[in-house]
Amino acid sequence: MKARQSTRNNGWQIFRWPLLMALANAVGLIAALVGNGWYDLLSWATLGLTLVVIVAAWRGWSAK
């Protein structure tokens, strides 16, 4: 079974991806507040990434 690893993940390995996602969320939430135009585009891209990751993971993608 590919999903189950033989070695144990440490805290950094477990939380590096969630931290990256939270960071992308934060950038997206703030960008659209700061300005319009490119800032809005950045906001859509980073918050939209969340949705892309959900769909990809549901369809079988996982990190590593």
What's the CA gap between 57 and 63, in Å, rounded? 9
For 33, the token pair is: 């507040």
Note whether 50 and 24 are within 8 A (CB): yes
Interaction of residue 58 with other proteins, rule CB under 8 A: yes
The count of chain residues that interact with other proteins, using the rule CB under 8 A, is: 44
* CA atoms of 3 and 58, how far apart (whole Å): 13
Q: Does 51 bind other proteins (CB under 8 A)?
A: yes
Question: Min. distance of Cβ 38 from other proteins in angstroms?
Answer: 12
| Residue numbers at the binding site for other proteins (CB under 8 A) | 3-11, 14-18, 21-26, 29, 31-36, 40, 43-44, 47-48, 50-51, 53-54, 56-58, 60-64
